[in-house]
């Protein structure tokens, strides 16, 4: 158990819909990262938040958005869903940011299926 929690574990929805994935980082971690992993693919970095502020952006579609709340939990919003958005979405957390690369602790992931 990494200490990072993600809900829901599974999500099945239809094209065109909007969903929200939730992540709670490890206690004390200020950085939250979101990744997308398609079938047998690597981890595509989407976005990072540090202490409530967006810190880095990766290959995140305009239909996707995220935020980190004052209690440090984060939500990833996916809208106008397409079949190709079906994937595993991981959240990870780490203690520090700002130029120092520390290990990331991954949550169990949310498996999104778009029908």
Partner 1 sequence: GQQVMQIPQYQHVQEGEDFTTYCNSSTTLSNIQWYKQRPGGHPVFLIQLVKSGEVKKQKRLTFQFGEAKKNSSLHITATQTTDVGTYFCAGPGETSGSRLTFGEGTQLTVNP
Nearer to partner 1, 28 or 98 (CB): 98
Rg (CA), the chain: 13
Nearer to partner 1, 79 or 86 (CB): 86
Binding site for partner 1 (CB under 8 A): 2, 31, 33, 35, 40-43, 45, 48, 50, 55-56, 58, 90, 92, 94, 96-109
> Measured from the CB of residue 24, what is the shortest distance to partner 1 in angstroms?
14
Nearer to partner 1, 61 or 95 (CB): 95
Left (φ > 0), alpha (ψ -120 to 50) or beta: where does 72 sit? left
- Distance between CA atoms of 41 and 100, rounded to whole angstroms? 27
> Measured from the CB of residue 52, what is the shortest distance to partner 1 in angstroms?
15
> Measured from the CB of residue 58, what is the shortest distance to partner 1 in angstroms?
7
Total Cβ atoms within 10 A of residue 9:
10
């Amino acid at each position: 158990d990494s200490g990072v929690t993600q809900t829901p574990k599974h999500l099945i929805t239809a094209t065109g819909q909007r969903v929200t994935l939730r992540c709670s980082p490890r206690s004390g971690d200020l950085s939250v990262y979101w990744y997308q992993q398609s079938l047998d693919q690597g981890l595509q970095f989407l976005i990072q938040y540090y202490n409530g502020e967006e810190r880095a952006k990766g290959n995140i579609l305009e239909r996707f958005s995220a935020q980190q709340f004052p209690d440090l939990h984060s939500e990833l919003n996916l809208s106008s869903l397409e079949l190709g958005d079906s994937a595993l979405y991981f959240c990870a957390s780490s203690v520090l940011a700002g130029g120092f690369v520390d290990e990331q602790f991954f949550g169990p992931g949310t498996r999104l299926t778009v029908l």
